[in-house]
C-alpha cells in the first residue's frame, strides 16, 4: 500500500515534506564512465562508436551500416498494421496542428527616440533526437520530439536509436518516417550523444540534442551542454490526480496506474476530499493490477512511490499542487477551471472527468515531453520554441544615437570600460543629424 | 598582430576552420572542488557559506550580516553621482520597454474534434541572480538580468554578489534597487550558487539561477541544473564586425577594442572586402590602444584572438557569419538589411554605421546577455521567456473523447501500455455524449 496523508493529522506537514523530498533517481556513478566515452568518440569518431555499439548493444556492424536507410524504413512500415499506422497519422496531424500555434512572430518597431528595435526568430539548423531502444522505444515519443522540430523549420533532423541485438520496433521507424526525420542511425547510449555533439566520419554534428534516455544518456547530455543545446534532463514520470468523490473510482484507478506502469520509480498521487473515495480507488487499483500486463512494474511504483492525500476541502489542493509541481495534473472535478485558475506549477493539465492523461500522451496535440521532478516550477514542456532562437537587432542613425548615446558613454565610463565609451563618443562627435546615416538605417 | 585571413589564399578554408576551433576557455579542473562546496553547503547551510566567504572573499561575517539591507543600499545610492544614476534610470526604462514586448500571450481554442486545447504562461516564483564581484561587477548587467525577471512577474528576485575584502561597487547596489531586486546577499562563488539552489537558514532556495560568473560559478550552475533551472553558461565575449571600406577606420577600431577590453580571452573579428581598410583599422587599433586604460587586456585579446578576414565580396560574409554564430554582429555597411536577411546565427545584430555594439550594452533596450562560443546556433539572449514557463491544457468531453480516444487506445496497446489504454477505453464504454461532461469542460 502506498502512503496515505490525511490533512487533519497533526503530522500532515512533516509527511508532505517527506513526500516532496523523496528521492526517485537512483544514484549512479556514471559521470566518469560517460566522460571517458565522450572523449573517446570525440577523438576516434566512428571507430569508437562502433566499439561501444558492439559492447553495449551486442551489435557488430561496420561504419557503412550505422545509418538506417529508406529501404529498411519501408520494410518496417510494411510490418506495422494498418489501424496502428492510421492512429499514428491522426496523432501526427493533431500534434502538428497544436504546435503550429506556437510559432513565434518576428516584430520590429521604431521607438520614440528614433531607434529601430526588434527580434527575429530562426530555426536551429540541425537537431538530434535520442530515442531509447528496447522496452522504452515508443513511437509516440518520436512524434512528440520530432514534429516540433519540423514545425520550427529545422532542416536537418537526425535520430539515433539503439538496436540491442539488432532489434528495433518497426513502429518507431514508421513514426520517424511520418514525422519527417532526415537521418536515422542505429546507435544509442553516451556514444550516440557524443556522435551527435562532436560528429564522426559518418554523422555530421548537430546543434541541439533532445529526447529521453537512461542515466548514461542524461549524463552525456549534461556534459555536452554548452557545445550543443539540450532539452531538460528528464526524470521518472509522475501524475497527480485531484478528484472529488463523484468520480468513478475505476476511472481514477486506471489513471493512476497509467503512470505507475511506466517505470518502477514512476509516481502516482491522488488528492481527494473524500476518504471513502480514496479507499475505493485503492481497492480498484488492486483489482486492476491483477489483469495488467505490466503489473510488476505498476505495483512496485504504486507501493513504493504512490500516495493518497485526503483534504477537508479541495480548495486546499492548489497550494499542495504548486509545491509538487507535477508533470501531469488531472483535475477530475465538475468545474476544473476553478482549481486550474489557482494553480501555477504543472507541466500539463487535464481538465474534467473525460480527460485521462493518456489521451495527452498520444493524440490530443500538446507535447507529452514535460518537466519532471518538480521542474515545472521553472521549465516547460517541449515546444517549437525549443528548436528556434531569437536574434535581437538595433539600428541607430546619427540623431537617435545622439539621444541615447550620452547615457551609454556615461555608464561605460562608470564601469571603467574606456573603449566602450569611445566607440559611442567618437560617433557623437561627428555623426549627429547626418543624412547618410538616416538613409542607411531607416530605409 | 592578430591573424589575417585572405579569402583568395589557397589556405583560407583551413585557416577559417582553425579560427572556429580555437579554444578560449581555459581548462580548469574545477569540477571536484565545486562538487565538494555544493554538498557542503547543502549539508551545513549558512555555516559552510560563511566559511567559504571568509576563505575566498577574506570576509569574516556572521549569518546576520549575509543580507545587504535597505540602509546599506540607500547609503550606496548616495555615493553615486547624479548623472550616472540618471543614465542608469534611462537604461532601465528602455530595457523595460523593449522586454515588455516579449511577454507571451496565453491562448486556447476548441478544435474541430471538440477538444479544448491551450497554453497558459506563468512566471517563475523565485529567481536568483548571480552578479560577479570585483572588476567584473557591472551595474548594467544587474539591469539586464533583473529587469526581464521583473517584467515576467517574478515575485521574489534574489541577488548574490561577492564583496571581496568587503568592497562592493555602489552602482551595483543602486542598479539592484532600481531594478526591484527583492533580496541581496554579499556572497559569491560556488557557495552562493549552492545557497540559491539548496537554500540555507538565511536564504530560501530559488527556482532558477541566472547571471555570469567565473569558471567555479559556471561549473556550480552546471551541477545544480535539474534541481533548479539555469541560463546558458556564458563563455568569453566576442564581436564580429562586417564593414566595407567606406567606414571610418577609427570607428571600427573602437568597436573592435570595446570587445577586446572586456577580457584577455575576448575575441574581436573584422570581416571586410577591402584589404587597405583592414590595415587602416589595424593601425588605428594600435593608436587607440595607447590611450586606453585597459590596454593590457585589450592588446592581449587582440593579439591572441583577434582576426581580420578579407573577402572579395561582402556577400560572402553571411556564410562565414553563420559558422561563427557570433554573440555580437555589427553590419557597418550602407544597407545592412541586405546582409542581415541572409544571416541565420547571431545573438544580437547592430545595423549600420551609427550603431556601435556598446549602445546595446547599456541603453538600446535589447538584452546584453547573449549566447557566446557559437551558442547562437541553438540559443537566444536572455528574455522575459527565461523567467516564465508554459502549462499546456487539454479538456475533452464524452463526445470529443469518443472521436480521438480510440486512436489513443490503439497506440497505447501497440506500445504495450495496458493501463494507458484502459484509462481511455473505460471512459469510452460509458462516457460518450454525456451531458454532464459537456457542462464541466466547455462552460
Mean pLDDT in residue range A223-248: 91
Is residue B58 domain-shared with residue B71, that is, in the same domain? yes
A347-400 pLDDT tens trace: 999 999 999 999 999 999 999 999 998 999 999 999 999 999 999 999 999 999
The label of the residue with cell 532558477 reads B208
pLDDT band at A436 (very low <50, low <70, confident <90, very high): very low
What is the predicted pLDDT for the residue at B3? Answer: 78
DSSP letter at B80 equals S
What is the predicted pLDDT for the residue at B48? Answer: 97
Q: Is the pLDDT of residue B398 over 60?
A: yes
Give the ipTM: 0.92
Q: For residues B296 and B264, what is the distance between their CA atoms, to the nearest angstrom? A: 8
Task: Give the CB-side neighbour count of residue B142, counting CA atoms within 13 A.
Answer: 30
In a domain, B388, yes or no: no
CATH number for the domain that contains residue A222? 3.40.50.1980
Mean pLDDT in residue range B145-151: 98
Q: Which of B271, B270, B257 is nearest to B300 (CA)?
A: B257
Residue B99 annotated as lining a ligand binding site: no
Are B294 and A138 within 8 A, CB to CB? no
In angstroms, the first-to-last Cα distance of chain A is: 71
Mean pLDDT in residue range B15-33: 72
In a domain, B373, yes or no: no
A328 in active site: yes
Using a CB–CB cutoff of 8 Å, tell me whether A431 touches chain B: yes
Q: Is the pLDDT of residue A233 over 90?
A: no
More confident of the two residues A82 and B136: A82
Least confident of A46-50, B30-34, B97-101, B323-327: B30-34
In a domain, A220, yes or no: yes
B352-362 pLDDT tens trace: 999 999 999 99
Q: How many domains would you assign to chain A?
A: 3
Helix, strand, coil abundance in chain A, percent, nearest 5: 50, 15, 35
Burial A79-111 (b: 16+ CB within 10 A, else e): ebeeebbebbebbbebbbebbebbebeeeeeee
What is the predicted pLDDT for the residue at A173? Answer: 96
B327 in active site: yes
A5-36 pLDDT tens trace: 887 888 888 888 887 776 665 445 788 899 99
CATH number for the domain that contains residue B424? 1.20.5.1300
| B406-to-A331, A361, A365, B15, B213 alpha-carbon distances in Å | 22, 13, 15, 59, 52
Chain A positions in Cβ-Cβ contact with residue B207 (cut-off 8 Å): 377-378
Percentage of residues of chain A with pLDDT beyond 90 = 83
Handedness of CA B50, B56, B61, B67 (dihedral sign): negative
Q: For residues B331 and B357, what is the distance between their CA atoms, to the nearest angstrom? A: 10
More confident of the two residues A95 and A3: A95
Q: Exposed (0-12), middle (13-18) or buried (19+): which is B364, by Cβ within 10 Å?
A: buried
Chain length of chain B:
443
Are A440 and B335 within 8 A, CB to CB? yes
> Are A206 and A128 contacting, i.e. CB atoms less than 8 angstroms apart?
yes
Are A261 and B418 within 8 A, CB to CB? yes
Least confident of A19-23, B344-348, B405-409: A19-23
What is the predicted pLDDT for the residue at A54? Answer: 96
What is the predicted pLDDT for the residue at B28? Answer: 53
Q: Is the pLDDT of residue A344 over 80?
A: yes
What is the predicted pLDDT for the residue at A19? Answer: 76
Cα-flanking dihedrals φ and ψ of residue A347, to 5°? -70, -55
Residue B259 annotated as lining a ligand binding site: yes
| Domain end among A311, A344, A364 | A364
Q: For residues A81 and A76, what is the distance between their CA atoms, to the nearest angstrom? A: 10
Using a CB–CB cutoff of 8 Å, tell me whether A231 touches chain B: no
Which of A:6-65 have CB within 8 Å of B? Answer: none
Q: Is the pLDDT of residue A288 over 60?
A: yes
Is residue B48 domain-shared with residue B130, that is, in the same domain? yes
Is residue A224 domain-shared with residue A86, that is, in the same domain? yes
| Domain end among B165, B199, B234 | B234
In a domain, A374, yes or no: no
What is the predicted pLDDT for the residue at B24? Answer: 61
Q: Which of A424, A382, A386 is nearest to A407 (CA)?
A: A424
Are B258 and A208 within 8 A, CB to CB? no
Is residue A211 domain-shared with residue A200, that is, in the same domain? yes
Using a CB–CB cutoff of 8 Å, tell me whether B315 touches chain A: no
Is residue A15 domain-shared with residue A47, that is, in the same domain? no
pLDDT band at B443 (very low <50, low <70, confident <90, very high): very low
Q: Is the pLDDT of residue A441 over 50?
A: no
Mean pLDDT in residue range A45-72: 96
In a domain, A386, yes or no: no
Measure CB to CB from residue A440 to each of B97, B171, B336 and give the nearest one.
B336
Q: Is the pLDDT of residue B73 over 80?
A: yes
Mean pLDDT in residue range A239-256: 97
Are B423 and A392 within 8 A, CB to CB? no
What is the predicted pLDDT for the residue at A23? Answer: 66
Is residue A39 domain-shared with residue A188, that is, in the same domain? yes
Mean pLDDT in residue range B191-212: 97
Using a CB–CB cutoff of 8 Å, tell me whether A385 touches chain B: yes
Mean pLDDT in residue range B303-314: 93
Q: For residues B254 and A424, what is the distance between their CA atoms, to the nearest angstrom? A: 9
In a domain, A293, yes or no: yes
Which of B:180-219 have CB within 8 Å of A? Answer: 207-208
Nearest-by-CA chain B residue for A139: B415
Q: For residues A240 and A321, what is the distance between their CA atoms, to the nearest angstrom? A: 8
Is residue B256 domain-shared with residue B210, that is, in the same domain? no
Q: Count the Cβ atoms, other than its own, within 10 Å of residue B435.
A: 8
Mean pLDDT in residue range B419-443: 66
Using a CB–CB cutoff of 8 Å, tell me whether B247 touches chain A: no
More confident of the two residues A10 and A326: A326
Are B419 and A98 within 8 A, CB to CB? no
At B84, list the grid cell.
Answer: 550616472
Using a CB–CB cutoff of 8 Å, tell me whether B70 touches chain A: no
**Closest chain B C-alpha to A8 CA, distance in angstroms:** 27
Q: Count the Cβ atoms, other than its own, within 10 Å of residue B176.
A: 25
Is residue A331 domain-shared with residue A262, that is, in the same domain? yes
Mean pLDDT in residue range B190-202: 97
Is residue A222 domain-shared with residue A254, that is, in the same domain? no
> Are B264 and B273 contacting, i.e. CB atoms less than 8 angstroms apart?
no
Chain A positions in Cβ-Cβ contact with residue B254 (cut-off 8 Å): 419, 422-423, 426
A121-139 pLDDT tens trace: 999 999 999 999 876 689 9
Residue B48 belongs to domain spanning:
31-103+124-234
Chain B positions in Cβ-Cβ contact with residue A109 (cut-off 8 Å): 101
What is the predicted pLDDT for the residue at B413? Answer: 96
In a domain, B111, yes or no: no
Is residue A314 domain-shared with residue A304, that is, in the same domain? yes
Using a CB–CB cutoff of 8 Å, tell me whether B407 touches chain A: yes
Measure CB to CB from residue A427 to each of B139, B251, B437 and give the nearest one.
B251
Is residue A47 domain-shared with residue A19, that is, in the same domain? no
Chain A positions in Cβ-Cβ contact with residue B302 (cut-off 8 Å): none
Is residue A76 domain-shared with residue A92, that is, in the same domain? yes
Q: Is the pLDDT of residue B203 over 60?
A: yes
Q: For residues B327 and B381, what is the distance between their CA atoms, to the nearest angstrom? A: 9
Measure CB to CB from residue B410 to each of A84, A261, A398 and give the nearest one.
A84
Nearest-by-CA chain A residue for B252: A423
DSSP for B424-435, written as a single string: HHHHHHHHTT-H
pLDDT band at A442 (very low <50, low <70, confident <90, very high): very low
Q: For residues B386 and B373, what is the distance between their CA atoms, to the nearest angstrom? A: 20
Are B352 and A421 within 8 A, CB to CB? no
In a domain, A166, yes or no: yes
Least confident of A42-51, A404-413, B219-228: B219-228
SS3 assignment, position B371: coil
Q: What is the dihedral of CA B64, B65, B66, B69, to 10 degrees?
A: 100
Average pLDDT, chain B: 92
Using a CB–CB cutoff of 8 Å, tell me whether B354 touches chain A: yes
pLDDT band at B408 (very low <50, low <70, confident <90, very high): very high
Chain A positions in Cβ-Cβ contact with residue B225 (cut-off 8 Å): 222, 225, 233
Percentage of residues of chain A with pLDDT beyond 70 = 95
B273-296 pLDDT tens trace: 999 999 999 999 999 999 999 999
B367-385 pLDDT tens trace: 999 999 899 999 999 999 9
User: Known binding site for NAD(+): residues of A?
Assistant: 130, 191, 214
Using a CB–CB cutoff of 8 Å, tell me whether B380 touches chain A: yes
Amino acid at each position: 500500500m502506498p502512503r496515505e496523508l490525511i490533512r487533519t493529522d497533526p503530522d500532515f506537514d512533516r509527511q508532505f515534506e517527506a513526500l516532496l523530498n523523496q528521492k526517485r533517481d537512483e544514484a549512479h556513478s556514471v559521470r566518469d564512465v560517460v566522460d571517458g566515452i565522450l572523449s573517446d568518440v570525440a577523438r576516434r569518431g566512428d571507430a569508437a562508436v562502433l566499439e561501444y555499439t558492439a559492447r553495449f548493444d551486442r551489435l557488430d556492424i561496420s561504419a557503412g551500416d550505422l545509418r538506417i536507410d529508406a529501404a529498411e524504413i519501408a520494410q518496417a512500415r510494411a510490418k506495422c498494421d494498418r489501424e496502428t499506422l492510421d492512429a499514428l497519422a491522426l496523432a501526427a496531424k493533431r500534434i502538428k496542428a497544436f504546435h503550429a500555434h506556437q510559432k513565434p512572430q518576428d516584430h520590429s518597431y521604431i521607438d520614440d527616440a528614433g531607434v529601430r528595435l526588434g527580434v527575429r526568430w530562426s530555426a536551429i539548423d540541425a537537431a538530434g533526437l535520442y530515442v531509447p531502444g528496447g522496452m522504452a522505444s515508443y513511437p509516440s515519443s518520436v512524434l512528440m520530439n520530432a514534429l516540433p522540430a519540423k514545425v520550427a523549420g529545422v532542416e536537418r533532423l537526425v535520430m539515433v536509436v539503439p538496436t540491442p541485438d539488432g532489434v528495433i520496433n518497426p513502429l518507431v521507424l514508421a513514426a520517424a518516417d511520418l514525422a519527417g526525420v532526415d537521418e536515422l542511425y542505429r546507435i544509442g547510449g553516451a556514444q550516440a550523444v557524443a556522435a551527435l555533439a562532436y560528429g564522426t566520419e559518418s554523422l555530421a554534428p548537430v546543434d541541439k540534442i533532445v529526447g529521453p534516455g537512461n542515466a548514461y544518456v542524461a549524463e552525456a547530455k549534461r556534459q555536452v551542454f554548452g557545445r550543443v543545446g539540450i532539452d531538460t534532463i528528464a526524470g521518472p514520470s509522475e501524475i497527480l490526480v485531484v478528484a472529488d468523490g463523484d468520480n468513478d473510482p475505476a476511472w481514477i484507478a486506471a489513471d493512476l496506474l497509467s503512470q505507475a506502469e511506466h517505470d518502477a520509480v514512476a509516481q502516482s498521487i491522488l488528492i481527494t476530499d473524500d476518504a471513502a473515495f480514496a479507499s475505493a480507488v485503492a481497492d480498484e487499483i488492486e483489482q486492476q493490477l491483477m489483469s495488467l500486463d505490466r503489473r510488476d512494474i505498476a505495483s512496485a511504483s504504486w507501493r513504493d512511490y504512490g500516495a493518497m492525500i485526503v483534504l477537508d476541502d479541495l480548495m486546499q489542493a492548489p497550494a499542495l499542487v504548486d509545491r509538487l509541481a507535477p508533470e501531469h495534473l488531472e483535475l477530475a472535478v465538475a468545474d476544473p477551471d476553478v482549481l486550474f485558475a489557482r494553480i501555477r506549477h504543472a507541466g500539463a493539465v487535464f481538465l474534467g472527468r473525460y480527460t485521462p492523461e493518456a489521451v495527452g500522451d498520444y493524440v490530443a496535440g500538446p507535447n507529452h515531453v514535460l518537466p519532471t521532478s518538480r521542474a515545472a516550477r521553472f521549465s516547460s514542456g517541449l515546444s517549437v520554441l525549443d528548436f528556434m532562437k531569437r536574434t535581437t537587432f538595433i539600428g541607430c542613425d546619427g540623431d537617435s544615437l545622439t539621444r541615447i548615446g550620452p547615457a551609454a558613454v556615461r555608464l561605460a565610463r562608470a564601469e571603467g570600460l574606456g573603449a566602450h565609451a569611445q566607440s559611442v563618443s567618437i560617433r557623437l562627435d561627428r555623426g549627429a543629424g547626418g543624412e547618410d546615416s538616416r538613409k542607411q538605417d531607416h530605409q
